[in-house]
């Protein structure tokens, strides 16, 4: 092969051909005029350590996906229902318990009001779901309440919505995980002391699943959702049959009566309001579908709206059904002799204590709750990416990893949620008061945004749509106030966090805007070729191959080249000069004697002197500091070299009219 062309003989005399080498083809592909697309091989690490790390990452997360493969990662309705709705559906596992925990303060008789409270919350769910269906249809780009409020109210209000959502997503992960662990410990009480470790380990597993990318996350988690739905509906059907047809009903067990007797309180409107506020946690996650509309297969909006309707129907039936069974079987939470969740007691009563269906149901419930945590792993990174795109969050959050997942957002969520679980000792009930406040603030802002949307756009049937969103807005605003009041003082933490996050995001935006203004180039300016003089200064430590290579390079970029040798030894300097003039004639060597043994500072001072001696009537030249750099073969050898060069670099960065050029000398080159 000569010059990438290999001559070949043909079968017949005179038939010749030349095979032309295509060196670009290993790494790139021409994809348009003047446009090259990098192949996967171009993104592979080049160092041994990098390759080893990539191998581990690929084994754990799968092969990297190209951006063009994204459409294949879109979710079907069935998978999307599992991924986006598990948060909302799973709240049926603890929402009933939250109602009963409040009602028991009014004595055993007050528990009977549980069903009415659940029905009221289900009505609220219907209103919110109908309102959010309209968001899906009106805003196919996703972002949910952030997009809606940004469009209709501007930046500040949208950031309040975004902050509330971010808090909500983090809380979803923490609450769902701790609740899942509680389902496990309700079935196997011996694991209660390991609840924090189990919770954090579960978050780590979900994180890996999500870093693998959307479609595979759907495959991993879709089955448990449907298993839970099947077993929960079966439980409700059997239980309801036994209550309605068999006349089975419950008297409260002595433990419950004893628990209730300790803290008697009147069944007042306030108590019912507090129970309503506590149970409103069932609505968390309703907005996730509206945020994730772009993740659906086309037609995105329609599929998202259909999935949202299905989710609301399933959640409503489950929530009312489980509350109906709990109230009629006389069940509430138990702390002694061992902690028992309400849903686990209902399952025990229906399926039989210690039976296989009971353990299966507990397993499915726990899996669903873990999957609910997964909902936030889809929505939180997307919202962060949208915020990063708007310069309200660091831009890293908008970058996609090897598997097209927003890796930084996923990892950030996992870290914060794990810290919460550790801080609250894995107790769901302690975390719940922080939950739901942000959600209802968010619902309200979103609905208010939709009111403005309909008033501005006025499409066909806008009056009916406006009425729906106005009703939803009013209702959710009232509930936001009620929840904040009922959960005070814990809700105060959220009320402080939201403005703090808003300020943080505004600060980040200001920083990015400042940088953009600084770097802005007017479109009408035409830049001619370089017209400034250039000079090169090469700091040298003797005459060696690295120095010679750097000086040779310096001579290619500037006419005015000088070497600077900083030394403390005058005799050594003289010997150096003699050798320099002999071996590198034509390149002046400036010897800077440094009796105080410093190297970097005298060199910088020399650059300052050079600048000051430049004629003031001429434009200052660009000074190129050419640094000879020896590159050791192994990374652990590198610590032995170039330390002075690194200090020089640190001292020169940011100096006016000065650029640094590293000239690496590699062994074996």
Partner 1 sequence: MSETHPPTFRRAVVALAGGPGDERIVRLVSELAKPSHGEVIAVHVVEIGWSLPLDADIAGRSEEIQSILDAAEGVAESSKMRLEAVLLQARDVGAALVDEATERAADLLVLSLPYRKRFGGDFAIGRTIPYVLKNAPCTVWVVREPIPEGEA
- Compare residues 19 and 579 and give the one whose CB is closer to partner 1: 19
Smallest gap from residue 23 Cβ to partner 1 (A): 8
Counting contacts by CB under 8 A, is residue 5 touching partner 1?
A: yes
Note if the bond before 337 is cis, omega within 30 degrees: yes
- Compare residues 35 and 526 and give the one whose CB is closer to partner 1: 35
- Cβ atoms within 10 A of the Cβ of 279, count? 30
Task: Show the tokens assigned to 123.
Answer: 């009505």
| Ramachandran bin of 609, using left for φ above 0, alpha for ψ from -120 to 50, beta for the remaining angles | alpha
**Number of chain positions touching partner 1 (CB under 8 A):** 24
Counting contacts by CB under 8 A, is residue 4 touching partner 1?
A: yes
| Residue of 444, 431, 443 whose CA lies nearest to 490 | 431
Counting contacts by CB under 8 A, is residue 2 touching partner 1?
A: yes
- Cβ atoms within 10 A of the Cβ of 51, count? 12
Rounded to whole angstroms, the Cα distance separating 490 from 493 reads 6
In this chain, which of 33, 520, 634, 669 binds partner 1, going by CB under 8 A? Answer: 33
Smallest gap from residue 598 Cβ to partner 1 (A): 52
Rounded to whole angstroms, the Cα distance separating 592 from 576 reads 12
The two beta strands, 589-593 and 658-666, are unpaired
Counting contacts by CB under 8 A, is residue 7 touching partner 1?
A: yes
| Residue of 574, 577, 567, 642 whose CA lies nearest to 597 | 567
Rounded to whole angstroms, the Cα distance separating 426 from 416 reads 14
In this chain, which of 13, 21, 325, 327 binds partner 1, going by CB under 8 A? Answer: 21
User: Sign of torsion, CA 454 456 457 459?
Assistant: positive
Rounded to whole angstroms, the Cα distance separating 402 from 40 reads 10
Which residue's structure tokens are 């068999």?
246
Counting contacts by CB under 8 A, is residue 29 touching partner 1?
A: yes
Task: Show the tokens assigned to 643.
Answer: 């330390």
Helix or strand (DSSP H, E) at 663: strand 658-666
In this chain, which of 13, 15, 46, 585 binds partner 1, going by CB under 8 A? Answer: 15
Counting contacts by CB under 8 A, is residue 16 touching partner 1?
A: yes
Counting contacts by CB under 8 A, is residue 43 touching partner 1?
A: no
- Compare residues 30 and 485 and give the one whose CB is closer to partner 1: 30
- Compare residues 16 and 666 and give the one whose CB is closer to partner 1: 16
The two beta strands, 658-666 and 622-631, are parallel
Counting contacts by CB under 8 A, is residue 30 touching partner 1?
A: yes
In this chain, which of 13, 19, 321, 667 binds partner 1, going by CB under 8 A? Answer: 19
Smallest gap from residue 44 Cβ to partner 1 (A): 17
Counting contacts by CB under 8 A, is residue 12 touching partner 1?
A: yes
Rounded to whole angstroms, the Cα distance separating 157 from 150 reads 7
Smallest gap from residue 9 Cβ to partner 1 (A): 8
Smallest gap from residue 404 Cβ to partner 1 (A): 17
Counting contacts by CB under 8 A, is residue 518 touching partner 1?
A: no
Rounded to whole angstroms, the Cα distance separating 173 from 179 reads 10
Counting contacts by CB under 8 A, is residue 42 touching partner 1?
A: no
Smallest gap from residue 219 Cβ to partner 1 (A): 19
Counting contacts by CB under 8 A, is residue 1 touching partner 1?
A: no
Interface positions, 146-175, toward partner 1 (CB under 8 A): none
Counting contacts by CB under 8 A, is residue 41 touching partner 1?
A: no
In this chain, which of 13, 22, 247, 669 binds partner 1, going by CB under 8 A? Answer: 22
Smallest gap from residue 70 Cβ to partner 1 (A): 14
- Report DSSP state, residue 76: P
Contact 332, 326 (CB under 8 A): yes
SS3 530: coil
- Compare residues 34 and 529 and give the one whose CB is closer to partner 1: 34
Counting contacts by CB under 8 A, is residue 26 touching partner 1?
A: no
Rounded to whole angstroms, the Cα distance separating 140 from 304 reads 9
Contact 540, 563 (CB under 8 A): yes
Residue range at the interface with partner 1 (CB under 8 A); choices 25-33, 288-296, 580-588, 597-605: 25-33
Residue range at the interface with partner 1 (CB under 8 A); choices 19-27, 101-109, 211-219, 225-233: 19-27
Rounded to whole angstroms, the Cα distance separating 453 from 115 reads 36
- Residue 652 has, within 13 A of its CA and on its CB side, a CA count of 25
Smallest gap from residue 42 Cβ to partner 1 (A): 13
- Compare residues 4 and 48 and give the one whose CB is closer to partner 1: 4
Counting contacts by CB under 8 A, is residue 586 touching partner 1?
A: no
Smallest gap from residue 22 Cβ to partner 1 (A): 6
Binding mask 260-279 for partner 1 (x = CB under 8 A): --------------------
- The set of residues, in sequence order, having a beta carbon less than 8 Å from that of 279 and lying 6+ positions away, is 95, 96, 98, 99, 117, 118, 121
In this chain, which of 11, 464, 522, 618 binds partner 1, going by CB under 8 A? Answer: 11
| Residue of 405, 398, 402 whose CA lies nearest to 43 | 402
Smallest gap from residue 73 Cβ to partner 1 (A): 16
- Cβ atoms within 10 A of the Cβ of 638, count? 12
User: Sign of torsion, CA 350 353 355 359?
Assistant: positive
Residue range at the interface with partner 1 (CB under 8 A); choices 31-39, 412-420, 428-436, 444-452: 31-39
- Compare residues 1 and 639 and give the one whose CB is closer to partner 1: 1
- Compare residues 42 and 109 and give the one whose CB is closer to partner 1: 42
Q: Which residues contact partner 1 (rule: CB under 8 A)?
A: 2-5, 7-8, 10-12, 15-22, 24-25, 29-31, 33-34
């Amino acid at each position: 092969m000569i010059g990438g062309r290999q001559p070949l003989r043909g079968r017949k005399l005179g038939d010749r051909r030349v095979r032309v080498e295509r060196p670009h083809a290993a790494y790139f592909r021409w994809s348009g005029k003047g446009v090259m697309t990098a192949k996967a091989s171009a993104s592979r690490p080049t160092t041994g350590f990098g390759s080893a790390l990539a191998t581990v990452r690929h084994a754990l997360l799968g092969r990297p996906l190209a951006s063009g493969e994204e459409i294949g990662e879109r979710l079907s309705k069935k998978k999307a229902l599992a991924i986006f709705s598990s948060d909302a559906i799973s709240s049926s596992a603890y929402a009933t318990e939250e109602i009963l925990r409040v009602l028991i303060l009014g004595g055993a008789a007050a528990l009977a009001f549980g069903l009415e409270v659940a029905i009221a919350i289900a009505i609220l769910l219907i209103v919110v779901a109908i309102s959010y269906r309209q968001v899906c249809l009106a805003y196919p780009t996703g972002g949910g309440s952030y997009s809606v409020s940004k469009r209709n109210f501007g930046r500040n209000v949208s950031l309040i919505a975004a902050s509330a959502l971010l808090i909500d997503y983090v809380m979803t992960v923490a609450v769902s995980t701790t609740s899942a662990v509680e389902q496990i410990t309700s079935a196997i009480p011996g694991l209660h002391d390991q609840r924090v470790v189990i919770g954090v380990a579960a978050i780590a597993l979900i994180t890996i699943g999500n870093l693998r990318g959307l479609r595979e996350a759907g495959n991993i988690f879709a089955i448990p959702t449907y298993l839970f739905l099947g077993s929960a509906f079966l439980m409700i059907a059997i239980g309801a049959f036994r209550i309605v047809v068999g006349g089975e009903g419950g008297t409260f067990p002595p433990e419950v009566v004893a628990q209730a007797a300790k803290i008697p309180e009147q069944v007042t409107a306030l108590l019912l309001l507090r129970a309503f506020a506590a149970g409103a946690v069932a609505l968390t996650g309703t907005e996730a579908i509206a945020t994730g509309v772009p993740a659906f297969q086309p037609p995105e909006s329609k599929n998202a709206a259909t999935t949202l309707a299905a989710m609301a129907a399933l959640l409503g039936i489950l929530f009312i059904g489980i509350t109906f069974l709990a109230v009629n079987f006389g069940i509430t939470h138990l702390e002694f002799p061992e902690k028992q969740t309400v849903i686990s007691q209902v399952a025990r009563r229906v399926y039989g204590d210690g039976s296989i269906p009971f353990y299966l149901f507990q397993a499915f419930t726990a899996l669903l709750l873990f999957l609910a945590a997964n909902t936030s792993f889809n929505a939180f990174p997307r919202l962060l990416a949208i915020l990063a795109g708007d310069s309200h969050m660091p831009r890293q959050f908008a970058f996609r990893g090897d598997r097209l997942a927003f890796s930084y957002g996923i990892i950030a969520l996992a870290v914060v949620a794990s810290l919460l679980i550790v801080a609250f000792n894995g107790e769901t009930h302690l975390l719940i008061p922080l939950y739901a406040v942000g959600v209802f603030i968010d619902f309200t802002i979103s609905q208010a945004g939709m009111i403005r949307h309909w008033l501005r756009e006025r499409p066909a049937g806008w009056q009916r749509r406006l009425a729906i969103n106005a009703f939803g807005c009013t209702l959710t605003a009232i509930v936001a106030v009620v929840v904040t009041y009922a959960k005070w003082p814990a809700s105060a933490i959220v009320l402080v966090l939201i403005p703090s996050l808003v300020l943080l995001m505004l600060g980040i935006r200001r920083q990015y805007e400042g940088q953009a203004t600084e770097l802005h180039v007017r479109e009408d300016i035409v830049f001619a070729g370089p017209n400034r003089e250039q000079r090169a200064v090469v700091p040298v430590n003797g005459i060696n191959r690295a120095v010679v290579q750097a000086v040779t390079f310096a001579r290619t970029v500037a006419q005015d080249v000088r070497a600077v040798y900083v030394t403390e030894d005058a005799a050594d300097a003289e010997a150096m000069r003699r050798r320099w003039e002999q071996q590198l004639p034509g390149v002046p060597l400036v010897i800077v004697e440094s009796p105080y043994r410093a190297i970097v500072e005298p060199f910088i001072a020399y650059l300052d002197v050079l600048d000051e001696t430049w004629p003031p009537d001429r434009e200052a030249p660009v000074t190129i500091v050419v640094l000879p750099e020896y590159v050791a073969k192994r990374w652990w050898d590198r610590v032995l070299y170039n330390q002075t060069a690194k200090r020089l670099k640190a001292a020169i960065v940011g100096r006016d009219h000065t650029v640094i050029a590293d000239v690496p000398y590699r062994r074996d080159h």
